Structure 1
Amino acid sequence: MASAAKEFKVPPPPVTAGASGTGGRSSFSGITCTVFGSTGFLGRYVTHHVAKSGSRMILPTRCGENDRQHLKVMGDLGQILQMDYAISDEGAIRHAVERSNVVINMVGREWETRNFSFEDVHVTFPKKLAEICADVGVRRLIHVSALGAADDHPSAYFRTKAQGEAAVREAFPSATVVRPAKMVGVEDRFLNVFAEHSRKYPMVPIIDGGDTQHQPVFVDDVAVAIRQIVHDELTSGRTYELAGKKVYTVHDLAKLVLRTARSRRSTAYIPSFIMRALSCPHEFLLRKVPFPMPTPVGLTRSYIDAQSRDYVKAPDTLGFSDLGIDPNDIENGYVLDYLRSFRAGGYALGEAPWEQNAA
């Protein structure tokens, strides 16, 4: 009888079972969500969208108050709780998730330092987090990885991303894995690199021939997709590759940025081995010095390696359409509006004379 009762066990109610109100702010979605990486590029958008749907938010961070105060207004009064933690402190991690029914992990790093290696951030911490979530009974775990993560990738960044996915799935089989393509937006480290180089250098450097393909996606679309995943329990155990509508080469993206910024600069092809050689002294110092160092844009190994392969969504994988979302075209004026700040003539609207016949 005991085994039969176990076989026909009633599934637990959905995470939104306790929802009340009309939805949105001043309502309760039934979700108490812990977000790791809330101060990052994607993290602030995810916090905004999940919080404004009426969710209680627990935001563990390791930064000062000035770096996280902008998150306080993303939900109603009393619904945003901030706390200090460290990725090596199991007690703090457990305290952050034990009252939540949803946990989102967006912790990542694009370069290694003396204190944190790719292995620490992309493998050890996600594995530890997944084990703790399984132990305390968290209902949903959403792990954000990266499009292009593979065990055989020449880049340590993408290899450890793949290893982190496997570790999370082993400890928490029902986890949802999200693989966003290169994200663009106000704080991105992709299109902003081309724009900044156009203001600093006589030519914009492009690695190798600039013919590798990318499918960049607007960061806010990824955040909306994660909010949809949080509310839809049918997404449990699945992997979603979130990429934009159109495939571009790196050269096409550089030209798009130059047209938007109204720059007269041209592009120059730089062999990848030269760029890697230039990045070596900086990468070495990052792993040795005990204090923060400025990081030149476009001169990290992960950025260079990201232009060595095509990063496009596989046709047979789940994506935006499976979540009922139509992502923005990145050439939409709203999406690329932030690049106008690089215009030498300011923010004036309209087309510059040399843009009219631009290639």
Structure 2
Amino acid sequence: MRSTNITVIGATGFIGCHLVARLAEEGANVLVPARHYERAKHLALLPGVDLRLADIHDDEVLRSLVRGRDAVINLVGILHGGRSQPYGEGFRRLHVELPRRIVAACRAEGVPRYLHMSALGASPAGTSAYQRSKGDGEAAARSAPEVAPTIFRPSVVFGPGDHFLTMFAALQRHLPLVPLAAPTARFQPVYVGDVVEAFVRALNQPRTRGAEIELGGPAVFILADLVRLAGRYAGVERPVLGLPDWMARLQATLFELLPGEPIISRDNLDSMKVDNVVDPATKALTAETLGIKLTSVEDAAPHYLVPADRMDAFRARAGR
């Protein structure tokens, strides 16, 4: 790995934990800023990882975090950022202003590479606040060509520790059926290990400098089928009841009124009006063009969704 000194911002999230572990395996020196030690302490156990308590919203602190690094990776993202036009304050602060400030810090400190996590469907004219903020975030990532930005646009990401298939499996453990909004929404779920591999390869392939990379898995699914698969692999498959649009929006409104992060919001429904799949017309790079052999939902999901007792039985039959 040529980029050996790397700062990963947003490392304590689902994808970040997998990426930091992989970078550590590759022998990189990884700086992980964190607001709270408890959320990041497991990463500090990895070789070559330097955990630093820091406020990434302080410009001077941010410059110190990128100083002397070969590359900076920004994985920060949220699904719920407030309702406003064109997007709420949470989206503005984390999806737009933060990448603009990171890029400015990289330019000031002479960092040669910036890798930015966006999403399929990102567009300033998107159907949802999430998509619009991600689109403006991409513009912020491109605001300094000298840092050679690479923009990643994955579909929904699945794998151990995800908040997608795991959530649907958990719901089916407690509900007799799943009342599902947007049951026919189309996704191209991509395995977290393949996303991590794309980041690692992008660090080492000059053609990714200034490029966009769209990441989808080997198959396209409608949401209802993904919910059924999650329940099946977890051993708790329930009937799926697709909701009409008006009922889906009512359900989302009620979820938004509950404490904590909603299972689904009206803005999520707006995002799902657009197919979340790789579009060949964009002519972006893909996992395949990077030489990555994609992992299917069927190959990976059973290994982390299956209940522990069933996994023990599988291992016993295999003599393991």
Same fold? TM cut 0.5: yes
Task: Find the aligned partners of 1:254 and 1:281 in 2 and give their Cα distance.
Answer: 21
1:66 aligns with 2:19: no
CA contact (8 A) 2:152 2:214 kept: yes
**Aligned with 2:250: secondary structure?**
helix
Task: Find the aligned partners of 1:32 and 1:58 in 2 and give their Cα distance.
Answer: 8
Judging changes above 3 Å, is the alpha-carbon distance between structure 1 residues 193 and 335 closer, same or farther for their aligned structure 2 residues? closer
Shift of 1:253: 1.1
Amino acid at match of 2:17: R
Structure with greater Cα Rg? 1
* 2:65 matched residue in structure 1: 96
After superposition, what is the alpha-carbon deviation per residue over 1:79-109, rounded to whole angstroms, capped at 9, x for unaligned? 2211122232001100000121110000111
Instruction: Give the TM-score of the pair, scaled to structure 1.
Output: 0.79
Task: Find the aligned partners of 1:308 and 1:336 in 2 and give their Cα distance.
Answer: 29
* 2:177 matched residue in structure 1: 203
1:311 aligns with 2:280: no
**Aligned with 1:321: secondary structure?**
coil
1:186 aligns with 2:160: yes
Task: Find the aligned partners of 1:153 and 1:273 in 2 and give their Cα distance.
Answer: 21
Task: Find the aligned partners of 1:171 and 1:299 in 2 and give their Cα distance.
Answer: 35
Shift of 1:348: 5.6
**Alpha-carbon RMSD:** 2.3
- Out of 292, 301, 316, the residue aligned to residue 325 of structure 1 is 292
Judging changes above 3 Å, is the alpha-carbon distance between structure 1 residues 98 and 273 closer, same or farther for their aligned structure 2 residues? farther
- Spell out the pairing of 1:290-301 with structure 2 (5 A cutoff): 293-296=259-262, 298-301=263-266
1:339 aligns with 2:312: no
Gaps of 5+ in 2: 315-320
Task: Find the aligned partners of 1:212 and 1:280 in 2 and give their Cα distance.
Answer: 19
**Aligned with 1:323: secondary structure?**
coil
**Aligned with 1:139: secondary structure?**
coil
Amino acid at match of 2:250: A
- Out of 257, 263, 267, the residue aligned to residue 236 of structure 2 is 263
Amino acid at match of 2:296: D
Shift of 1:212: 2.0
Task: Find the aligned partners of 1:284 and 1:62 in 2 and give their Cα distance.
Answer: 27
Across the two proteins, how many residue pairs are aligned to each other? 307
Task: Find the aligned partners of 2:53 and 2:89 in 1 and give their Cα distance.
Answer: 17
Task: Find the aligned partners of 1:196 and 1:90 in 2 and give their Cα distance.
Answer: 40
Task: Find the aligned partners of 1:99 and 1:227 in 2 and give their Cα distance.
Answer: 19
**Aligned with 1:143: secondary structure?**
strand
Task: Find the aligned partners of 2:117 and 2:249 in 1 and give their Cα distance.
Answer: 27
1:155 aligns with 2:120: no
Amino acid at match of 1:328: T
Task: Find the aligned partners of 1:264 and 1:92 in 2 and give their Cα distance.
Answer: 48
Report the more deviating stretch, 212-221 or 307-316: 307-316
CA contact (8 A) 1:207 1:307 kept: no
After superposition, what is the alpha-carbon deviation per residue over 1:117-159, rounded to whole angstroms, capped at 9, x for unaligned? 1010000000111111011100111001011112222211111
Task: Find the aligned partners of 2:237 and 2:90 in 1 and give their Cα distance.
Answer: 39
After superposition, what is the alpha-carbon deviation per residue over 1:158-202, rounded to whole angstroms, capped at 9, x for unaligned? 110010001110234620001111001122222122212212222
Shift of 1:55: 1.1
Amino acid at match of 2:303: D
After superposition, what is the alpha-carbon deviation per residue over 1:258-316, rounded to whole angstroms, capped at 9, x for unaligned? 2212325201112344333344465467xxxxxxx5334x2334543443321110123
- Spell out the pairing of 1:14-93 with structure 2 (5 A cutoff): 16=2, 31-63=4-36, 65-75=37-47, 79-93=48-62
Judging changes above 3 Å, is the alpha-carbon distance between structure 1 residues 110 and 183 closer, same or farther for their aligned structure 2 residues? same
After superposition, what is the alpha-carbon deviation per residue over 1:205-237, rounded to whole angstroms, capped at 9, x for unaligned? 2214x2221100111110111011112233100
Report the more deviating stretch, 94-103 or 276-285: 276-285
**Aligned with 2:42: secondary structure?**
helix
The percentage of counterpart residues that share the same residue type is 32
Amino acid at match of 2:109: V
Task: Find the aligned partners of 1:273 and 1:124 in 2 and give their Cα distance.
Answer: 34
Task: Find the aligned partners of 1:139 and 1:284 in 2 and give their Cα distance.
Answer: 44
Instruction: Give the TM-score of the pair, scaled to structure 2.
Output: 0.88
Q: Considering fraction of residues, name the structure with more helix.
A: 2
- Spell out the pairing of 1:132-171 with structure 2 (5 A cutoff): 132-171=105-144
Shift of 1:34: 0.5
Amino acid at match of 1:73: L
**Aligned with 1:205: secondary structure?**
strand
Judging changes above 3 Å, is the alpha-carbon distance between structure 1 residues 284 and 171 closer, same or farther for their aligned structure 2 residues? farther
